[in-house]
Amino acid sequence: MRKIAITCAVTGAETTRAQNPNLPITPAEIAESARAACDAGAAILHLHVRDAQGAPTQDREVFREAIALIRARSPIVIEVTTGGAVGMSLAQRMQPIALSPEMASLDCGTVNFGDDYIVNTLPMMRDCARAMKEHGVRPTLECFDLSHIDASTILIEEGLVEPPLHYGLVLNVPAGVRFSEETLAFFVDRLPAGSRWTAITIGGRAALKGVKAAVALGGFVRVGFEDNVYLAKGVLAKSNAELVGQAADIIRDSGNEVAAPDDVREMLAL
């Protein structure tokens, strides 16, 4: 038996209310969704915010407002995004790091994103890693490709990222590496020894399979409207908490334990 952390990505940058009308958008809605997700078993909140028009923003002040509301309601660990949205500069994307959240995502390479792409050169990755180190933020090293795992080891060798290491293995991004349990297992096999990792599988078809594969392979799991809006085929999830509850059931049914926020703080030395 082991403790498995559930990350909930409640909003994301690209998901819309047209895809699921229950998507939380304002800081208050995000904070309430995070509280409910935590109550259902999520230990980590992956946080994106939106502007007043509902468009993705990396504005530090919107993050500040959201983080204050979340902390007032829930003990959940907050992982801010530095991926932002397609077309944003690195300076824009890095803004929430200065708020010293406990965790932040750190994209480890350039990746197709449907018809678009997100650029992450090695110098950009170094800037991001350096800022996180300065502010005491634990990176989640997001890898969308095998080359990203190898690139992450450069940051480690240069001392910009230090153990305990936590990876986010992102599969099934449109025009990226497709998800299969075999592919996920191969990615996991390439990680530095002793790394912890979370499977991030995008889209309704891969969501549950990704959770089950991660549980079987010794990882953590991620669910939420950023990655998938369906509870089952053709059935929209009523809330992020409903998706978390489904993942928590899979973890318990496998004979493992759902990690609490403080378990994650201990495991990742936050």
User: Binding residues for Zn ion, per CB under 5 A?
Assistant: 81
- CB-nearer residue toward Zn ion: 41 or 83: 83
The first and second tokens of residue 98, run together, are 């200065």
CB of 12 to Zn ion, least distance (A): 5
The first and second tokens of residue 130, run together, are 């350096």
CB of 205 to Zn ion, least distance (A): 19
CB of 254 to Zn ion, least distance (A): 26
CB of 13 to Zn ion, least distance (A): 6
- CB-nearer residue toward Zn ion: 58 or 81: 81
Question: Which residues share a beta bridge with 220?
Answer: 198
Long-range contacts of 125-128 (CB under 8 A, 24+ apart): 125/151, 125/155, 126/155, 126/158, 126/160, 127/90, 127/94, 128/82, 128/90, 128/93, 128/94, 128/97
Residue 133: DSSP 8-state:
H
- CB-nearer residue toward Zn ion: 59 or 257: 59
- CB-nearer residue toward Zn ion: 120 or 186: 120
With a CB cutoff of 8 Å and minimum separation 6, the contacts of 248 are 6, 40, 41, 258
How far apart are the C-alpha atoms of 21 and 13, rounded to whole Å? 15
- CB-nearer residue toward Zn ion: 81 or 152: 81
- CB-nearer residue toward Zn ion: 81 or 240: 81
Question: Which residues share a beta bridge with 45?
Answer: 8, 78
Q: Could you give the residue ranges of the DSSP H alpha helices within the chain? A: 27-40, 60-73, 90-93, 122-134, 146-157, 181-189, 204-217, 240-253, 261-267
Residue in the block written with tokens 């030395």: 269
CB of 133 to Zn ion, least distance (A): 21
- CB-nearer residue toward Zn ion: 92 or 254: 92
CB of 9 to Zn ion, least distance (A): 6
Position with the least CB separation from Zn ion: 81
With a CB cutoff of 8 Å and minimum separation 6, the contacts of 64 are 99
- Contact call for residues 26 and 239 (beta carbons, < 8 A): no
CB of 197 to Zn ion, least distance (A): 16
Residue in the block written with tokens 């304002």: 26
